[in-house]
Structure 1
Amino acid sequence: MNRTFKTIDLFAGPGGLAEGFSSLRSKDGSRVFEIALSVEKEPSAFSTLRLRAFVRQFETPPDAYYRYIAGKISRSDLICQYPAEWAAAEHETAMLELGTGDAQAALDPRLDKIRREASHGTVVIGGPPCQAYSLVGRARNRGIEGYDPAGDHRHFLYREYIRILRLLEPVAFVMENVKGILSSKVGGEGIFDRVLCDLRSAGGSSDSYTLLPLVSSSDKGRHSGHIIRCEDFGIPQTRHRVILLGIRNDVMANISLRRTLQPFSSQSTVASVLDGMPPLRSGLSKVEDTAENWQSAVIDAFEKAALACRSDGSRQIEVASKLAVYAQKLRDRGEILARKSETVTSVRDDRLGSWLCDARLTALPNHETRGHMEADLARYAFAAVFCEIYDRSPKAEEFPRKLAPAHSNWDSGKFADRFRVQGWKAPSTTVTSHISKDGHYFIHPDPMQCRSLTVREAARLQTFPDNYFFEGNRTQQFVQVGNAVPPLLARQIAELLASLLG
Structure 2
Amino acid sequence: MPRNFAIIDLFAGPGGLGEGFSRAGRNPATPMDIHLSVEMDDYAVQTLRLRSFLRSFDSFPPEYYEALNTGTVLPSWSELYPSNWKLAQGEVRRRVLGAHGVFEEIAVELDKAREANHGDTILIGGPPCQAYSLAGRSRNKGKTGYVAEEDDRHYLYREYVRILDRLRPAAFVMENVKGMLSSRVDGGGIFSRVLDDLEGAGGTGYRLLPLAAVPPADGQRADGRDFLIRAEQHGVPQARHRVIVLGIRKDMAVPDVNSPLLGDPADPVTVAEVIEDLWKLRSGLSRQDETSAWQSTVKAQAEAIASHGSIDPGVRDIALHLARDEALPSKRLSRRVLDADRLPDHLKDWIRDDRLSAALQHETRGHIPDDLGRYLFSAAYARVHDRAPKLSEFPDFLQPRHRNRASGDFADRFRTQVATRPSTTVTSHISKDGHYFIHPDPAQCRSLTVREAARLQTFPDDYFFCGPRTQQYHQVGNAVPPYLAFQIAKAVRRLID
Short-chain TM bin:
over 0.9
Q: Given the alignment, which residue of 437, 440, 464 partners 1:442?
A: 437
Q: Is the 8 A contact 1:344 1:361 kept in 2?
A: no
Identify the residue that residue 431 of structure 1 maps to in structure 2: 426
Identify the residue that residue 470 of structure 1 maps to in structure 2: 465
Superimposed CA distance per residue, residues 139-162 of structure 1 (whole angstroms, 9 cap, x where no aligned partner): 111111111212211111111100
Q: Quick check: 143-152 or 346-355, which moved more? A: 346-355
Identify the residue that residue 77 of structure 1 maps to in structure 2: 76
Query: What is the CA–CA distance in structure 2 between the aligned matches of 1:64 and 1:498, rounded to whole Å?
Result: 33
1:340 lines up with 2:339 in the alignment:
no
> Where in structure 2 are the equivalents of 1:264-343 lying within 5 Å?
264-285=265-286, 287-307=287-307, 310-311=308-309, 313=310, 316-329=312-325, 332-333=326-327, 336-343=329-336
Q: Is the 8 A contact 2:206 2:248 kept in 1?
A: yes
Q: Quick check: 102-111 or 169-178, which moved more? A: 102-111
Q: Is the 8 A contact 1:2 1:26 kept in 2?
A: no
Identify the residue that residue 396 of structure 1 maps to in structure 2: 391
Identify the residue that residue 170 of structure 2 maps to in structure 1: 171
Q: Quick check: 167-176 or 221-230, which moved more? A: 221-230
Identify the residue that residue 216 of structure 1 maps to in structure 2: 213
Query: What is the CA–CA distance in structure 2 between the aligned matches of 1:132 and 1:88, rounded to whole Å?
Result: 35
Q: Are the structure 2 counterparts of residues 65 and 156 from structure 1 closer, same or farther at C-alpha, using a change threshold of 3 Å?
A: same
SS in 1 for 2:473: helix
Q: Is the 8 A contact 1:6 1:36 kept in 2?
A: yes
Q: Are the structure 2 counterparts of residues 465 and 79 from structure 1 closer, same or farther at C-alpha, using a change threshold of 3 Å?
A: same
Q: Is the 8 A contact 1:367 1:455 kept in 2?
A: yes
Query: What is the CA–CA distance in structure 2 between the aligned matches of 1:318 and 1:91, rounded to whole Å?
Result: 57
Q: Is the 8 A contact 1:9 1:39 kept in 2?
A: yes
Query: What is the CA–CA distance in structure 1 between the aligned matches of 2:194 and 2:352, rounded to whole Å?
Result: 38
How far is the alpha carbon of 1:361 from its aligned partner?
Answer: 0.6
Query: What is the CA–CA distance in structure 2 between the aligned matches of 1:24 and 1:59, rounded to whole Å?
Result: 15
SS in 2 for 1:173: strand
Query: What is the CA–CA distance in structure 1 between the aligned matches of 2:214 and 2:394, rounded to whole Å?
Result: 38
How far is the alpha carbon of 1:233 from its aligned partner?
Answer: 0.2
Q: Are the structure 2 counterparts of residues 5 and 389 from structure 1 closer, same or farther at C-alpha, using a change threshold of 3 Å?
A: same
How far is the alpha carbon of 1:105 from its aligned partner?
Answer: 3.0
Superimposed CA distance per residue, residues 87-119 of structure 1 (whole angstroms, 9 cap, x where no aligned partner): 111111100000112322321111111111113
Moved over 6 A (4+): none
Query: What is the CA–CA distance in structure 2 between the aligned matches of 1:392 and 1:72, rounded to whole Å?
Result: 36
Superimposed CA distance per residue, residues 450-487 of structure 1 (whole angstroms, 9 cap, x where no aligned partner): 10000000000000000000001111011100010000
The one-letter code matched in structure 1 to 2:317 is S
Q: Are the structure 2 counterparts of residues 6 and 137 from structure 1 closer, same or farther at C-alpha, using a change threshold of 3 Å?
A: same
Q: Is the 8 A contact 1:209 1:247 kept in 2?
A: yes
Q: Quick check: 457-466 or 183-192, which moved more? A: 183-192
Query: What is the CA–CA distance in structure 2 between the aligned matches of 1:272 and 1:317, rounded to whole Å?
Result: 27
Q: Is the 8 A contact 2:213 2:227 kept in 1?
A: no
Q: Quick check: 427-436 or 58-67, which moved more? A: 58-67
Identify the residue that residue 354 of structure 1 maps to in structure 2: 349
Q: Are the structure 2 counterparts of residues 248 and 317 from structure 1 closer, same or farther at C-alpha, using a change threshold of 3 Å?
A: same
How far is the alpha carbon of 1:318 from its aligned partner?
Answer: 3.0
Identify the residue that residue 239 of structure 2 maps to in structure 1: 238
Query: What is the CA–CA distance in structure 2 between the aligned matches of 1:71 and 1:115, rounded to whole Å?
Result: 43
Q: Given the alignment, which residue of 466, 476, 481 partners 1:481?
A: 476
The one-letter code matched in structure 2 to 1:424 is A
Q: Are the structure 2 counterparts of residues 26 and 482 from structure 1 closer, same or farther at C-alpha, using a change threshold of 3 Å?
A: closer
Identify the residue that residue 37 of structure 2 maps to in structure 1: 38
Q: Is the 8 A contact 1:5 1:121 kept in 2?
A: yes
Q: Is the 8 A contact 1:39 1:93 kept in 2?
A: yes
Query: What is the CA–CA distance in structure 1 between the aligned matches of 2:174 and 2:83, rounded to whole Å?
Result: 32
How far is the alpha carbon of 1:298 from its aligned partner?
Answer: 1.1
Superimposed CA distance per residue, residues 71-101 of structure 1 (whole angstroms, 9 cap, x where no aligned partner): 6554453331111111111111100000112
Q: Are the structure 2 counterparts of residues 254 and 447 from structure 1 closer, same or farther at C-alpha, using a change threshold of 3 Å?
A: closer
Query: What is the CA–CA distance in structure 1 between the aligned matches of 2:266 and 2:345, rounded to whole Å?
Result: 15
Q: Is the 8 A contact 2:36 2:92 kept in 1?
A: yes
How far is the alpha carbon of 1:31 from its aligned partner?
Answer: 6.4
Identify the residue that residue 7 of structure 1 maps to in structure 2: 7
Identify the residue that residue 106 of structure 1 maps to in structure 2: 105
Identify the residue that residue 137 of structure 1 maps to in structure 2: 136
Superimposed CA distance per residue, residues 16-38 of structure 1 (whole angstroms, 9 cap, x where no aligned partner): 0000000014654x762210000
How far is the alpha carbon of 1:198 from its aligned partner?
Answer: 0.5
Q: Is the 8 A contact 1:22 1:31 kept in 2?
A: no
The one-letter code matched in structure 1 to 2:313 is I
How far is the alpha carbon of 1:226 from its aligned partner?
Answer: 0.6
Q: Is the 8 A contact 1:233 1:264 kept in 2?
A: yes
Q: Quick check: 147-156 or 487-496, which moved more? A: 147-156
Gaps of 5+ in 1: none
Identify the residue that residue 379 of structure 1 maps to in structure 2: 374
The one-letter code matched in structure 2 to 1:224 is R
Q: Is the 8 A contact 1:217 1:224 kept in 2?
A: no
Superimposed CA distance per residue, residues 312-336 of structure 1 (whole angstroms, 9 cap, x where no aligned partner): x3x523312321111111xx23x75
Query: What is the CA–CA distance in structure 1 between the aligned matches of 2:303 and 2:474, rounded to whole Å?
Result: 34
The one-letter code matched in structure 2 to 1:160 is E
How high is the TM-score relative to the length of structure 2?
Answer: 0.94
Query: What is the CA–CA distance in structure 2 between the aligned matches of 1:450 and 1:135, rounded to whole Å?
Result: 29
Q: Is the 8 A contact 1:423 1:445 kept in 2?
A: yes
Q: Are the structure 2 counterparts of residues 389 and 417 from structure 1 closer, same or farther at C-alpha, using a change threshold of 3 Å?
A: same
Query: What is the CA–CA distance in structure 2 between the aligned matches of 1:99 and 1:142, rounded to whole Å?
Result: 25
Query: What is the CA–CA distance in structure 2 between the aligned matches of 1:470 and 1:31, rounded to whole Å?
Result: 29
The one-letter code matched in structure 2 to 1:324 is L
Query: What is the CA–CA distance in structure 2 between the aligned matches of 1:375 and 1:42, rounded to whole Å?
Result: 34
Number of equivalences: 489
CA RMSD for the aligned pairs? 1.9
Identify the residue that residue 117 of structure 1 maps to in structure 2: 116
How far is the alpha carbon of 1:257 from its aligned partner?
Answer: 4.0
Query: What is the CA–CA distance in structure 2 between the aligned matches of 1:234 and 1:430, rounded to whole Å?
Result: 14
Give % identity: 51
Query: What is the CA–CA distance in structure 1 between the aligned matches of 2:101 and 2:152, rounded to whole Å?
Result: 16
Q: Is the 8 A contact 1:68 1:78 kept in 2?
A: no
Q: Are the structure 2 counterparts of residues 212 and 62 from structure 1 closer, same or farther at C-alpha, using a change threshold of 3 Å?
A: same
Query: What is the CA–CA distance in structure 1 between the aligned matches of 2:26 and 2:45, rounded to whole Å?
Result: 28
> Where in structure 2 are the equivalents of 1:410-421 lying within 5 Å?
410-421=405-416
Gaps of 5+ in 2: 216-221
Q: Quick check: 298-307 or 162-171, which moved more? A: 298-307
How high is the TM-score relative to the length of structure 1?
Answer: 0.93
Q: Is the 8 A contact 1:65 1:78 kept in 2?
A: no
Query: What is the CA–CA distance in structure 2 between the aligned matches of 1:27 and 1:318, rounded to whole Å?
Result: 51
